[in-house]
Chain A
Amino acid sequence: MIWDGSFRKKIIKYVNSDTEPFLREGEIIRAEGLTKCFGDFVAVDHISFSVKKGEIFGFLGANGAGKTTAMKMLCGLSKPTEGRAEVAGYDLKWEVRKIKRSIGYMSQKFSLYEDLKVWENIRLFGGIYGLSDKEIQIKTDSLLERLGLEQQRNMFVRSLPLGWKQKLAFSVAIFHEPQIVFLDEPTGGVDPATRRGFWEMIYDAAEWGLTVFVTTHYMDEAEYCDRVSIMVDGRIEALDAPSALKSKYNAANMDQVFHTLARKAKRDE
Chain B
Amino acid sequence: MIKYLIEKEFKQLWRNKFIISLIIILPCLVMLVFPWTTTMEIKNLNITVVDYDRSPVSAQLLNKLSSTEYFNFTGLASNYSEALQHIESGRSDIVLEIPASFETDLTNSRSSSIMIAANAVNETKANLGTSYLTAILADFASQFGGEVPVNISVESSYRFNSTMDYKIPMIPSLIVLIITLIVGFLPSMNIVIEKENGTIEQINVTPVPKYSFILGKLIPYWIIGVVVLTLSLVVSYLMYSLPPQGSLILLYGISIFYILGISALGLIISNYSTIMQQAMFTIFFVIIIFILMSGILTPISSMPQWAQSIASVNPLTYFSEIMRMIYLKGSSFPDLIPYIKPLFVFFVFIITWAILSYKKRG
Contacts and interface: CB of A to CB of B under 8 A. Distances in A.
A243 B362 CA distance: 39
A100 B8 contact: no
Nearest to A101: B207
Contacts of B197: 111, 114
A75 B206 contact: no
Interface in A1-58: 1, 4
Contacts of A65: none
Contact of A116 (B1, B12, B210, B362): B12
A111 B4 contact: no
Interface in A200-250: none
A129 B11 contact: no
Contacts of A193: none
Interface in B10-44: 11-12, 15-16
A96 B205 CA distance: 10
Given A127-B1, A127-B3, A127-B4, A79 B202 contact: no
Contact of B198 (A75, A98, A107, A130): A107
A99 B201 contact: no
Given A112-B199, A114-B197, A100 B362 contact: yes
A97 B1 CA distance: 15
A76 interface: yes
Contacts of A114: 197
A126 B202 CA distance: 12
Contact of A125 (B201, B206, B209, B362): B206
A124 B8 contact: yes
Contacts of B7: 124, 127
A77 B204 contact: yes
Nearest to A130: B1
Most buried by B among A124, A129, A130: A124
A128 B208 contact: yes
A105 interface: yes
Contact of B202 (A125, A127, A130): A125
A96 B206 CA distance: 10
Interface string B198-228: 1101111111111000000000000000000
Contacts, number: 79
Contacts of A113: 8, 12, 199
B159 interface: no
B207 A116 contact: no
B202 A116 contact: no
A77 B8 contact: no
B206 A129 contact: yes
A120 B11 CA distance: 9
Nearest to B206: A128
B4 A107 contact: no
Given A116-B8, A124-B8, A128-B1, A111 B206 contact: no
Interface residues of A, number: 33
B209 A1 contact: yes
B4 A124 contact: yes
A123 interface: yes
A107 B201 contact: yes
B362 A99 contact: yes
A112 to B, nearest CB: 7
A154 interface: no
A82 interface: no
B362 A123 contact: no
A113 B8 CA distance: 9
Given A124-B8, A127-B3, A77 B201 contact: yes
A99 B205 CA distance: 9
A17 to B, nearest CB: 26
B206 A100 contact: yes
B102 to A, nearest CB: 75
A134 interface: no
A103 interface: yes
A256 interface: no
A97 B362 contact: yes
Contacts of A4: 362
Contacts of A99: 362
B34 to A, nearest CB: 33
A126 to B, nearest CB: 8
A115 interface: yes
A110 B198 contact: yes
Nearest to A79: B361
Nearest to A136: B4
A78 interface: yes
A127 B209 CA distance: 13
A109 interface: yes
B74 to A, nearest CB: 57
Nearest to B362: A96
A123 B362 CA distance: 22
B251 interface: no
B5 interface: yes
A148 B106 CA distance: 101
A123 B4 contact: yes
Interface of B: 1, 3-5, 7-8, 11-12, 15-16, 197-199, 201-210, 361-362
6 closest A-B pairs by beta carbon, nearest first, are A127-B4, A96-B362, A109-B198, A97-B362, A105-B205, A100-B207
Interface of A: 1, 4, 75-79, 96-101, 103, 105, 107, 109-116, 120, 123-130
12 contacts: A1-B210, A77-B204, A110-B198, A113-B199, A116-B8, A116-B11, A116-B12, A124-B4, A124-B8, A127-B3, A127-B7, A128-B208
